[in-house]
Amino acid sequence: MFASLAIATTGMHAAAKRLEASASNVANARTNGPLPETPPNRPVERAGDARSVYQPIDVVQVSSSGGGVAARFTERLPAYQPVYDPTSPDANDDGLLAAPNVDLAREISDQIMALAMFQASVKVFTVASDMTKTLIDAKA
């Protein structure tokens, strides 16, 4: 019974991580910066205090050996997209700057999925908790 509670808890933690990553991406969706020398298909390399484009994050979930799920942050690739805005102070000589690779529709659907995942994990936790209480009451 207690394993069920632990598994449900890992699901809640994974859902919270997914929501955290998506919220960070939405909050920084318009955080443009100069075009880095790093190609877009590699993580953005930061040089000291130099201003750079926001690096969007994703969450990778894998099954845990004891049951449940483990979640970790990973950098989204491509990290940025070149956009044309010659009026920006971050634009290069060609008028290009880097915008984070954040699609608001994708982020909203990720947030909805994280909410559904959290709700399902809470339901599993509640049912497992109720079953444990019933078992303890029956043995008492």
Task: State the pLDDT confidence band at 69, using cuts at 50, 70 and 90.
Answer: very high
Mean pLDDT over 7-23 rounds to: 97
Q: Dig out the tokens for 12 from the structure.
A: 């809640």
pLDDT number for residue 32: 92
Domain extent, residue 6, equals 2-139
Percent of the chain with pLDDT over 70: 93
Contact 100, 28 (CB under 8 A): yes
Spatial CB neighbours of 78, under 8 Å, sequence gap ≥ 6: 40, 41, 101
The more confident residue out of 36 and 74 is 74
pLDDT number for residue 66: 84
Task: State the pLDDT confidence band at 65, using cuts at 50, 70 and 90.
Answer: confident
Residues in a beta bridge with 82: 98
Rg from Cα positions in the chain: 21
Mean pLDDT over 42-50 rounds to: 63
Q: Dig out the tokens for 28 from the structure.
A: 């920084």
Mean pLDDT value across the chain: 91
Q: What is the domain count for the chain? A: 1
Spatial CB neighbours of 92, under 8 Å, sequence gap ≥ 6: 34, 35
Closest CA relative to residue 71, chosen from 126, 114, 109: 114
